[in-house]
Amino acid sequence: MIQLPKLSGGIMSNLFWLTDEQMERLRPFFPKSHGKPRVDDRRVLSGIIFINRNGLRWCDAPKEYGPPKTLYNRWKRWSEMGVFARIFEGLTAEATDPTTIMIDATYLKAHRTASSLRGKKGGVGA
């Protein structure tokens, strides 16, 4: 069972924590640790997920997840190694109903003066 950190005054925080069951499903996708043992995988991965779900900067990570540099370094290293891609592929391969799902976190807002007709003052036919 995971022990969740508490905020001052004994109020339980609303931080995200992976469960024991989720960690067991993810563990086969983790790279082998060589030499120095890794910092707690649950804490770091929970922090990475929290940062991404909430659109935060790494430096804004709650202290319960550990140093922001640790979160960023693990995210960067595992991204380059393809660990997260293997996790997504492995979990989707377990699905009983083959379905295509697209996830896009892109949000773009064009300025009112941004257009392909920018070179022609006044727009088409001006």
Neighbours of 85 (CB within 10 A): 12
The answer to whether residue 81 is domain-embedded is: yes
The answer to whether residue 59 is domain-embedded is: yes
For residue 90, the enclosing domain spans 16-24+39-104
The answer to whether residue 4 is domain-embedded is: no
The answer to whether residue 45 is domain-embedded is: yes
The answer to whether residue 68 is domain-embedded is: yes
* CA 9/CA 7 separation, integer angstroms: 6
* CA 13/CA 7 separation, integer angstroms: 6
Mean pLDDT for each 10-residue chunk of the chain (126 residues)?
A: 43 81 94 87 96 93 96 96 93 75 68 62 56
**pLDDT score recorded for residue 9:** 38
The answer to whether residue 29 is domain-embedded is: no
Report the number of distinct structural domains present in the chain: 1
Query: pTM of the entire structure?
Result: 0.67
The answer to whether residue 69 is domain-embedded is: yes
The answer to whether residue 120 is domain-embedded is: no
